[in-house]
Amino acid sequence: MRRRTKAFLLSTVLLPALGAAALSSLQSGTAIGFGLGSDLPMLMLGLFTTLLLPLFLFMAAVDSFTGEFASRTIKLVLTRPISRSKAFASKVLALAVLIAVSLGAVWLASAAAELLSGGGLTGSGLIDGVVAYASAFLPMLAVALMSVLLAQRFHNSAGALGLIVLVYVLAKLLPFLFPSAAVWSVYSYTNWYSLWIGGGVPSGKLLNTTLLLFSYCVMAYMGGLMQFERKRF
């Protein structure tokens, strides 16, 4: 019901439409955008998983945890006849649903915008799009869970959001100074979907990165749950 949530979901529809219009204009007016129209779903996926969706998840995690702790509305949840572990799981599940809905909306809007703009959406391209968007769920979930873990260290929403954004930006810049950091940093896998399309990546590498991201999810979830269980009011 929050306005920012509605605004974000609206952007998942408007941005692909604006992107399709811009690419169509470039292709008809110049040679700059030649060939980009067929990649509109991938372009939108890159934009959302690198910038827009993480930022939205940061705000959602801060609202769900730090914001409720600061306003004391979390007590309305904790006084109900459910365990804290279930309350925590429901909040994480809400974030997971937001990720799935957002990715699905971006894919549908991008595919529709490409078709309406005269793009050549082939069968193989459609399958690659579905695989790419589905594979983007796990790294986005890992990013959301890391945000939940960090958000619970603060009692102020602005401070929590500022730290989470700062950590994300620094983690994105770190591989430029230390390339080996890209292997173990969870924030380096926001474009993980690119490994799943084209069939050029060995299955062993995909399995290793899948296990790495899953491990991050498990550790961040358990760390966040431990903090949630120990909160006192």
Longest Cα–Cα distance of the chain, Å, equals 64
Q: Render each residue's pLDDT in the chain as its tens digit; 233 residues.
A: 788 888 898 898 899 888 888 877 776 655 554 444 457 888 999 999 999 999 999 999 999 999 888 888 888 888 888 899 999 999 999 999 999 999 999 999 998 888 877 665 666 667 888 899 999 999 999 999 999 999 998 888 999 999 999 999 999 999 999 888 888 999 999 999 988 887 678 888 889 999 999 999 999 999 999 999 998 76
Domain boundaries, the chain: 3-230
Q: Would you say how long the chain is, in residues?
A: 233
- The structure tokens listed for 77 are 């949840």
DSSP percent split of the chain into helix, strand, coil, nearest 5: 80, 0, 20
Cα distances (angstroms) measured from residue 93 to each of 78, 98, 117, 221: 17, 9, 36, 11
pTM check: above 0.85: yes
Indicate the SS3 state at residue 139. helix
- The structure tokens listed for 173 are 């810049």
